[in-house]
Amino acid sequence: MHAPLIKFCGLTRREDIDTAVALGVDCIGLVFATRSPRRLDLDTARALRDAVPASVRLVALTMDNTADEVADIVAAVRPDVLQFHGAEADAFCRGFGLPYWKAIAMGGDPSAALRTLHAWPCAEAFLFDGHAAGEPGGSGARFDWSALPARLDRPFWLAGGLDAGNVAQAVTTAHPAGVDVSSGIEAAPGIKDAARMRAFVAALQDR
């Protein structure tokens, strides 16, 4: 069984990025969603981006940001992937010349949420998160992992309420291509805890 990819999201400090890179994570997420407590300004994000090596994919998370705002993020931060958490249509998401992931809010009716996937035919991957529709990610809310289909036509990431204590079970249940964690490795919103980061990675390595 292949180990899932790992994404640490909502990083706001250089030392947390350095720890994530040293732990061998595959992706690092920077947040630009207006209502998120982990939201970065462009100057801070630009400095953090310089700490991310080419071997790690940099993901820029937005939620109903304007096209101009997303374009400014792309120009300043040079992300490898855009991650959209709002009501953005496929044409909007693919309009910036980068691969994109579409986050799907699973906190309400998972079956209804899954029926919307056809609306984003160009998404490189989906990210199933535990928050309710209209709410930003990073809430730490879980959903029923068994509600996910056995297979999809493209990769998917699992997010929402993951931590070192449950991530192995989540992967066994849902078989995602990757796992995405934010609040589960934090001491406070945007402030990551190195011990929790190490424990999260170790929990996947020990499966």
Return the structure tokens found at 116: 């919307």
Q: Is 14 helix (H, G, I), strand (E, B) or coil?
A: helix
CATH number of 5-205: 3.20.20.70
Return the structure tokens found at 19: 């720890």
CA gap 29, 23 in Å, rounded:
15
| Confidence (pLDDT) at 141 | 65
Backbone angles phi, psi at 47, to 5 degrees: -65, -40
| Confidence (pLDDT) at 150 | 77
| Confidence (pLDDT) at 83 | 98
Angle in degrees, 0-180, between the axes of helices 42-49 and 14-22, rounded to the nearest 10 = 30
| Confidence (pLDDT) at 132 | 59
Return the structure tokens found at 23: 């732990």
Token pair 């809430």: residue:
139
User: CA torsion sign, 191 to 195 to 197 to 199?
Assistant: negative
By residue count, the chain amounts to 207
Cα–Cα distance list, 78 to 81, 83, 196 (Å): 9, 13, 28
| Confidence (pLDDT) at 30 | 98
| Confidence (pLDDT) at 5 | 97
How would you write the pLDDT of the chain (207 residues) with one tens digit per residue? 578 999 999 999 999 999 999 999 999 999 999 989 999 999 999 999 999 999 999 999 999 999 999 999 999 999 999 999 999 999 999 999 999 999 998 877 888 889 999 999 999 999 998 765 655 555 556 778 888 887 888 999 999 889 999 999 999 999 999 999 999 999 999 999 999 999 999 999 876
Cα–Cα distance list, 180 to 26, 29, 42, 126 (Å): 10, 9, 23, 12
Q: Taking a C-beta distance cutoff of 8 angstroms, is the pair 70, 94 a contact? A: no
Q: Taking a C-beta distance cutoff of 8 angstroms, is the pair 113, 87 a contact? A: no
Angle in degrees, 0-180, between the axes of helices 42-49 and 67-77, rounded to the nearest 10 = 40
